[in-house]
Amino acid sequence: MIRSTSATIRLLILPYAGLLLLYVLVVIGAGLWLGHQPPGKAAAAGPLLSLVMVLALAGGAGILIGLTIALVAVGESRRAEGHIQEIYRRASLTEMAAELVHDLRNPLMALRANAKALLVSPEQTAEIVAEIDRDIVALNRKLTGFLDLTRKQDEIFAPTDPGALIADAVRLAAPILRKQGLGILLDIESTLPTVALQAGAIRDALLNLLINAAQSGQRSGSIRVGARAVRQGLRIEVDDRGSGIAAADLPRLFTPFYTTKADGNGLGLAIVRRIVQAHHGRVWLDNRAGGGVRVTLILPLKQPEIPGWWTSRTIDSRT
């Protein structure tokens, strides 16, 4: 019995059919599969690769009782990857928007209560107006962070000197660090390779991490920023000697709107993760044995041309 679809030809029973029959079926199946492609589609999308998988079905005595043959269009799967990424992006945005609406309710209710208080207690106008101003600032920070998190990355990937980029981020963060009484210790290899980056986005990510380190509770000393080449690409580390992170909070710190700070909006690390993922890299946090937190980024040296909402043109002068 043979059942055929556009994706799979399944042989439920094929007792001792022989190699010739198997060969004929594979060829016929491949023809049927490729025949489903609309005219001109393969030419427009590039060569279509088909992967043939054969699974032998054995009985209790080890006797061959059947075969399963699957023909998979690898090219189609790869082209579908961009659409899958877009689906995940939209689902993520929907979830974040729902969370944002939830988080905005309390500040809005506080604004309403203070507006009513102005009518009831005009003698407290200055104090109430100050509270309203604080609530508006908090709302603006949250909305701005949400826009930063959800905006498309249109910057071009270009060959970048990571040492110079890190130095630029440190320069921008220096006033904030000095205000906290902190310095910067640079631990950067002198011969770092050129990396294909969206330089502005990575600088923003590093600035976010440096500001987080400044707010870690560390009262003196320096924030360490390290960078070196590793097998996976470029490894960047930002170390502080603050109070560390509770173990229960570590898995959730990159979740949008999750924060351990009283005045935080919970979007800084989420933005960092989005930027790093747009570079097909990884980012994670660890508590350091000597106290404080280490944030580690791994960025590949080159960027593939992958369709998706974050992807820009990739430029690499070496290719």
Domain 80-150 sits in CATH 1.10.287:
yes
Intervals of the chain under pLDDT 50: 1-17, 20, 41-49, 60, 78, 83-84, 87-88, 91, 306-319
Calpha distance 103→228 (Å, rounded): 39
pLDDT at 170: 93
Residue listed under structure tokens 């097998």: 231
Within 13 A of 295's CA, how many CA atoms are on the CB side?
A: 25
Residue listed under structure tokens 């924060």: 259
Calpha distance 18→13 (Å, rounded): 13
Calpha distance 11→14 (Å, rounded): 6
SS3 assignment, position 3: strand
Counting DSSP H helices and E strands in the chain, the numbers are 7, 11
Question: Which value, to the nearest 10 degrees, does the dihedral of the CA atoms of residues 164, 166, 169, 171 take?
Answer: -60
pLDDT at 310: 36
The 10s digit of each residue's pLDDT in 288-318 is: 988 899 999 999 988 765 433 333 333 333 3
pLDDT at 278: 86
Pick from 196, 199, 191, 193: nearest CA to 166 = 199
The single-letter DSSP state of residue 156 is P
Calpha distance 102→259 (Å, rounded): 15
Read out DSSP for 174-195?
HHHHHHTT-EEEEEE-TTPPPE
Pick from 263, 247, 255: nearest CA to 215 = 263
Read out DSSP for 25-79?
HHHHHHHHHHHTSPTTHHHHH-PPPEEEEEEEEE-TTS-EEEEEEEEEEHHHHHH
Select from 2.40.30.10, 3.40.50.2300, 2.60.40.1250, 3.30.565.10 the CATH code of 158-299.
3.30.565.10
The 10s digit of each residue's pLDDT in 99-133 is: 555 566 666 777 778 778 878 877 788 888 887 87
- Show the tokens assigned to 108: 């809005």
Calpha distance 97→103 (Å, rounded): 10
Contact 149, 256 (CB under 8 A): yes
Residue listed under structure tokens 């059942």: 3
Calpha distance 302→311 (Å, rounded): 13
pLDDT at 248: 82
Would the pTM count as exceeding 0.85?
Answer: no
